[in-house]
Chain A
Amino acid sequence: MATLWRFTLFLCMLLMACGGLSLASEEAETRNTQTETGTGSSSNTTGGGGHEAAPITTLPIVTWKWHHISVQYLVALWILVCWLCKLIIEANHSVTNYIPESALLICSGFILGGMIWGADKMQTFSLSPTVFFYFLLPQIILDSGYHMPNKLFFTNLGAILIHAVIGTCWNAASLGLSLWGCHMGGAMGDLDIGLLQYLLFGSLMAAVDPVAVLAVFDQVHVNEVLFIIVFGESLLNDGVTVVLFNVFDAFVSLGGGRINAAEIVKGIVSFFVVAFGGSLVGIAFGILIALLTRCTKNIQIIEPGFIFVMGYLSYLTAEMLSLSAILSTTFCGVLCQKYVRANMDESSVQTVKYAMKVFANGSETIIFVFLGISAIDKVIWVWNTGFILLTLLFIFVYRFIGVFFLQWILNRYRLVPIELIDMVIMSYGGLRGAVAYGLAVLLDENKIKEKNLMICTTLIVVYFTVILQGITMKPLVMWLKVKRAEVTEVSLLEKMTNKMFNHTLVAIEDISGQIGDNYFRSKWRHFEEKWMTPLLMKPSARKKQDEVFDVFHQLNLKDAMEYVTEGERSGSLEFVRNDSAILDFKKKLESEYTEVLPDIPPYMINNHGAMFTMGRDPIPSVSLEMHEQTMKAMREAEAVDAHHLLDQHLYKSRKQYRHGFSRSDFKINRDEKEVQEIFQRTMRNRLESFKSAKMGVSPPKTIVKHSKKEQQEKIPNGKSMSKTKLCHSGDEDFEFSEGDSASGYDSSYPSFSMRATYRPGAGIENPAFMPDLDPMDLLQIPPWLAESELDSSMVALSHRAQVGLPRTPSNLRRLAPLRISTRSTDSFTLENIPDTQQMDSDQLPPPPPPRPPRDDGYV
């Protein structure tokens, strides 16, 4: 809570700063731009402003150049402020559970607007149509198109279109006519509004707003059919709204007398042109995007950018041709999504996905905040009880009537009819939003005298629907027990059977001689497979298109991720890489631990602890059964993981600035020299840390340059210490292991040497450094007994060691003789070869490994 208040305080201060700045700018600049710039406007009218400074007499060291950046600065500040609002709101889960975020954002807009009003005594910022339609809306639409669940959308396209077209016309006409009727009846007193103006008002109020609907329904999770119908309607009815608005706007300009049948026919024709033209522009751009992403392989870094630029262009192009921009962008996204996902690199696909969400979510936030801020303006508040209340009532009632009637007809043709309860939610979900407000602001004051009343009413309707209906939506959904969306995990069998169902239905339709949805769907699929896919998709991507295969891939990936997390938690991924070991390991664990456990000596424990946790829970039972099939995916994940680990632990600084320079290459450096250096450095670090851990034995300066002599001197030294203390502290183990490590590489133990080499790399996180991690600590086992465990303990060894170890055969060769030589000098080691060898494999700083063949190319 305290942090929350701090945030709020911070926000207030920011706002004050903002207000102050804007004041400053106004003094100098007769505030011509502020009112219209508002949010994201890059209409750089302020640009030239404050540069007319007097001739300078001396060189200024620092100058105050507010005017250079005032617009950009305010834009950035406002975005920041809006997002901070969201941050504060989202920090309060108890509130957002009951009140939808959009409503809270509008409310915070009220507060911000109040502050500005307090500072400026006038409305300085408001949502201008230009900003809204050209800078805030496109990304939201593109996002919803791009993330549209295609199959669901097209399955319900009929219902969506009926609601979007007929429903919207109905809403507009009924609202306009009823208001006019009431006006004639004298319900609103003296207003200068004619029938055409009422119809114009009705048309701008008719459209259900995609932004508002998405914001509210996103949090309610109703079943998908219901969602897609409401949401699809809100997207597609834009075409209708734009046409109706333009037509009535033109009619108002023409004046009632000059409207004849021809004009009305033109209006109807323009509807089809605007709607279909817009969709066609979108489809054209979608195809272009797909084609473009086919050949962006070499510029992977900016490849996600194409989606955004082309999407925006599709919006602007449609707008330029006075077609429906929203429809255009929607279809652009719907069409390109499949091909884009297949054509682009996985990481680019992720980038597009997240960037799209950032833009859409960000501008949605800004829109709602500014809807709130726009309300704080004395000018637009023209109260007319009759007009406002009647509008609210009619909107609500006619929406219900329209939806129920249309859906009743549609239900007769639906396989699974929409239930009554769902219809209630559909009607109730008819939220109006920023689109209506934007259109209302666009009204021409000269032609429509009561523009301010209309803006005011629009705002009230928006607040009413978004805040009140938004808040009550969730309780209503609960209360009516509307079927909710289930979070399902796709299983392979399910996906397969679904596919089979599709084929079955087509076949049954064939047999029973019907031409139904499935018939058309299968025809479309044939068409797509024959023409679209070869044209728009990379040949290499086509193969992966199948849904079943895709699910398979997803599942595998998921498994692999789980393995990695599990493995990392227990410090090892050995079980991932070695599938025979995993079984042995488990068997061994079960059979041997029970017998041997009671007397594991302390120095064994740390590693065994890790191994233990691994053996018990982290290997999910599935993993044992599925390891074969998933092995491939695991390898991929392992590779990724290896990079990650390398990045993190092995050789941080150098590598990072290596690719920090490159704007176009993410690849981790594979330079041979660097690999060697990584290796040497790591070795040195490890040795140092071991030495220093061992009470101040000074670390050898360089491992690579060690002469035999040095080594020999050093080792016995360590040995003697270890002997005196006799292996009871964690430090001791190093001693042992360090000296003995050589034996692990001795050719007399060929079978072990390979394995032992990869494991010990764990160095950095060698469990020996954290002695008390595991409850098993108390158990002891003498080294000679522990021998039997050798195998299993090796298996358990650190992942990092395996994947992360630098492999440079040359280094190995250089070091190996040196290590081996220590053996000959130390009789203690010789005698105890079995034990010590086992121990060092547990705890030793890594001798250079022979290159494990499988790891090739990971580093």
Chain B
Amino acid sequence: MGSSSSSRNKIPNAQELMDQTGFSSAHLLRLYDRFECLDRDNRGYLSPDDFEAVGGLAMNPIGGRIIDAFFSSGQDTVDFSSFVRILAHFRPTDRNRNKEGTQQELPNSRTRKLKFAFQLYDLDRDGKISREELLQVLRAMLGLQVTEEQLQSIAERAIQEADLDKDDAISFDEFKKSLEKVDIDTKMSIGFLK
């Protein structure tokens, strides 16, 4: 334990992060190691290039979007605490904790997870998924298998399904509503190693 608490000290404001994200200190340590590993030049922050160096991401059709999600608008660096906060979205929902910890919404709540997913669609961050944005995602994910015409009709149809106020775009509320039945807890969580 001694070593872990000592290395915990090198993590800036660790306690605060743990409270905000719900990660345990073991998780945090692990993630810190990972962060340092990604941060090849030891600058204390990551740039998009660092992410692009991660092997699997290059093959991932929406890898670019996910990288973008780490960078809040206008910035091109991410420090450890933002890094952890983003990853915290993917922590599985912790049932016991939910009961007590209502005072503060953890990033792994249903809404926050959905919000994250929403932002992956919403490239221009105007709070709406437009047809063009939807189309881009579809294009990336369906790739060459489907013709452009079909892609367009899929996008059109998807918008019509979800679009309740008929503004030809999907707002976050509409998004949330149309995914009401999806078990987000399972689908937006990964098992972080301890």
Residues of A at the B interface (CB closer than 8 Å) are 413, 415-417, 486, 488, 491-494, 496-514, 516-519, 522, 526, 542-543, 545-546, 548-549, 552, 555, 622, 625-626, 628-630
What are 25 A-B pairs at a CB distance below 8 A? A416-B92, A492-B158, A496-B137, A497-B182, A500-B62, A500-B117, A500-B121, A503-B61, A504-B117, A504-B120, A505-B187, A508-B87, A510-B55, A510-B56, A511-B51, A511-B54, A511-B66, A512-B34, A512-B87, A512-B192, A516-B191, A518-B190, A543-B146, A552-B154, A628-B153
Cβ of A507 and Cβ of B178 under 8 Å apart? no
Q: Which residue of A lies closest to B116 (CB)?
A: A504
Which positions 37-84 of chain B face chain A at CB distance < 8 Å? Answer: 37-38, 51, 54-57, 59-63, 66
Cβ of A505 and Cβ of B154 under 8 Å apart? no
Cβ of B63 and Cβ of A505 under 8 Å apart? no
Cβ of B142 and Cβ of A504 under 8 Å apart? no
Q: How far is the CB of A521 from chain B (nearest CB, A)?
A: 11
Cβ of B157 and Cβ of A552 under 8 Å apart? yes
Number of residues of chain B lying within 8 A (CB) of chain A: 54
Cβ of A514 and Cβ of B190 under 8 Å apart? yes
- B154 neighbours in A (Cβ, 8 Å): 492, 548-549, 552
Report the Cα distance A517→B34, complex, angstroms.
19
Is the C-beta of B170 less than 8 angstroms from some C-beta in chain A?
Answer: yes
Cβ of A622 and Cβ of B31 under 8 Å apart? no
Cross-interface CB contact of A493 among B60, B90, B142, B162, cutoff 8 Å: B162
Cβ of B55 and Cβ of A514 under 8 Å apart? no
Report the Cα distance A77→B61, complex, angstroms.
59
Q: Which residue of B lies closest to A413 (CB)?
A: B191
Cβ of A505 and Cβ of B90 under 8 Å apart? yes
Q: Which residue of B lies closest to A548 (CB)?
A: B142
Is the C-beta of B26 less than 8 angstroms from some C-beta in chain A?
Answer: no
Report the Cα distance A297→B137, complex, angstroms.
35
Cross-interface CB contact of A492 among B31, B157, B175, cutoff 8 Å: B157
- Main secondary structure on A side of the interface with B: helix
- A416 neighbours in B (Cβ, 8 Å): 92-93, 185-186, 189
- Main secondary structure on B side of the interface with A: helix
Q: When A512-B192, A549-B154 are in contact, do A494 and B90 touch as well, CB less than 8 Å?
A: no
Is the C-beta of B4 less than 8 angstroms from some C-beta in chain A?
Answer: no
- A504 neighbours in B (Cβ, 8 Å): 62, 66, 117, 120, 188
- B179 neighbours in A (Cβ, 8 Å): 493-494, 497
- B60 neighbours in A (Cβ, 8 Å): 503, 506-507, 510
Q: Which residue of A lies closest to B156 (CB)?
A: A629
Cβ of B153 and Cβ of A516 under 8 Å apart? no
Cβ of A545 and Cβ of B145 under 8 Å apart? yes
Cβ of B150 and Cβ of A549 under 8 Å apart? yes
Report the Cα distance A651→B70, complex, angstroms.
67
Q: When A500-B137, A507-B66, A549-B154 are in contact, do A488 and B181 touch as well, CB less than 8 Å?
A: yes
Q: How far is the CB of B181 from chain A (nearest CB, A)?
A: 5
Is the C-beta of B1 less than 8 angstroms from some C-beta in chain A?
Answer: no
Report the Cα distance A499→B31, complex, angstroms.
26
Q: How far is the CB of A412 from chain B (nearest CB, A)?
A: 10
Q: When A493-B170, A501-B187 are in contact, do A506 and B142 touch as well, CB less than 8 Å?
A: no
Q: When A496-B137, A546-B146 are in contact, do A506 and B117 touch as well, CB less than 8 Å?
A: no
In the complex, besides A492-B157, A494-B182, A517-B190, 5 extra interface pairs with C-beta distance below 8 angstroms are A494-B181, A505-B188, A508-B90, A509-B56, A546-B145
- B146 neighbours in A (Cβ, 8 Å): 543, 546, 549
Q: How far is the CB of A476 from chain B (nearest CB, A)?
A: 23
- B170 neighbours in A (Cβ, 8 Å): 493
- B175 neighbours in A (Cβ, 8 Å): 493
Q: Which residue of B lies closest to A488 (CB)?
A: B181
Q: How far is the CB of B70 from chain A (nearest CB, A)?
A: 8
Cβ of A513 and Cβ of B66 under 8 Å apart? no
The digit string for B149-164, where 1 denotes a CB below 8 A from any CB of A, is: 0100110111011100
Is the C-beta of B141 less than 8 angstroms from some C-beta in chain A?
Answer: yes
- B192 neighbours in A (Cβ, 8 Å): 512, 514
Report the Cα distance A491→B160, complex, angstroms.
10
The digit string for B98-109, where 1 denotes a CB below 8 A from any CB of A, is: 000000000000
- B56 neighbours in A (Cβ, 8 Å): 506-507, 509-510, 519, 522
Report the Cα distance A486→B66, complex, angstroms.
31
- A513 neighbours in B (Cβ, 8 Å): 34, 37-38
- A493 neighbours in B (Cβ, 8 Å): 158, 161-162, 170, 175, 178-179
Cβ of B57 and Cβ of A500 under 8 Å apart? no
Q: How far is the CB of A221 from chain B (nearest CB, A)?
A: 15
Q: How far is the CB of A523 from chain B (nearest CB, A)?
A: 9
- A503 neighbours in B (Cβ, 8 Å): 60-63, 66, 141
Report the Cα distance A799→B22, complex, angstroms.
62
- B57 neighbours in A (Cβ, 8 Å): 507, 510-511
Q: How far is the CB of B62 from chain A (nearest CB, A)?
A: 5
Is the C-beta of B138 less than 8 angstroms from some C-beta in chain A?
Answer: yes
- B138 neighbours in A (Cβ, 8 Å): 496, 548
Q: How far is the CB of B193 from chain A (nearest CB, A)?
A: 6
Q: How far is the CB of B47 from chain A (nearest CB, A)?
A: 14
Q: Which residue of A lies closest to B178 (CB)?
A: A493
Which positions 163-181 of chain B face chain A at CB distance < 8 Å? Answer: 170, 175, 178-179, 181
Q: Which residue of B lies closest to A492 (CB)?
A: B158
The digit string for B131-152, where 1 denotes a CB below 8 A from any CB of A, is: 0001001100110011000100
Closest 9 CB pairs of A and B: A629-B153, A510-B56, A492-B158, A513-B34, A507-B66, A501-B187, A493-B158, A503-B62, A491-B161
Cβ of B141 and Cβ of A496 under 8 Å apart? yes
Among A416, A507, A526, A546: residue with most chain B CB under 10 A: A507
Q: How far is the CB of A543 from chain B (nearest CB, A)?
A: 5
Q: How far is the CB of A720 from chain B (nearest CB, A)?
A: 56
Cβ of A494 and Cβ of B178 under 8 Å apart? yes
Report the Cα distance A516→B138, complex, angstroms.
26
- B93 neighbours in A (Cβ, 8 Å): 416
Cross-interface CB contact of A629 among B117, B157, B162, cutoff 8 Å: B157
Q: Which residue of A lies closest to B193 (CB)?
A: A514
Q: Which residue of A lies closest to B147 (CB)?
A: A543
- A630 neighbours in B (Cβ, 8 Å): 157
Cβ of B137 and Cβ of A507 under 8 Å apart? no
Q: Which residue of A lies closest to B143 (CB)?
A: A546
- B62 neighbours in A (Cβ, 8 Å): 500, 503-504, 507
Which positions 1-55 of chain B face chain A at CB distance < 8 Å? Answer: 31, 34, 37-38, 51, 54-55
Cβ of B161 and Cβ of A492 under 8 Å apart? yes
Q: How far is the CB of A33 from chain B (nearest CB, A)?
A: 55
Q: How far is the CB of B111 from chain A (nearest CB, A)?
A: 15
Q: How far is the CB of B8 from chain A (nearest CB, A)?
A: 18
Q: How far is the CB of A743 from chain B (nearest CB, A)?
A: 41
Q: When A493-B158, A522-B56 are in contact, do A517 and B137 touch as well, CB less than 8 Å?
A: no
Report the Cα distance A549→B38, complex, angstroms.
36
Cross-interface CB contact of B191 among A491, A501, A517, cutoff 8 Å: A517
Q: Which residue of A lies closest to B174 (CB)?
A: A493
Cβ of A546 and Cβ of B142 under 8 Å apart? yes
- B153 neighbours in A (Cβ, 8 Å): 552, 628-629
Cβ of A626 and Cβ of B141 under 8 Å apart? no
- B186 neighbours in A (Cβ, 8 Å): 415-416
Q: Which residue of A lies closest to B37 (CB)?
A: A513
- B120 neighbours in A (Cβ, 8 Å): 500, 504
Report the Cα distance A708→B2, complex, angstroms.
112
Report the Cα distance A468→B102, complex, angstroms.
43
Report the Cα distance A512→B29, complex, angstroms.
12
Q: How far is the CB of A270 from chain B (nearest CB, A)?
A: 35
Q: How far is the CB of B53 from chain A (nearest CB, A)?
A: 11
Cβ of A505 and Cβ of B55 under 8 Å apart? no
Q: Which residue of A lies closest to B62 (CB)?
A: A503
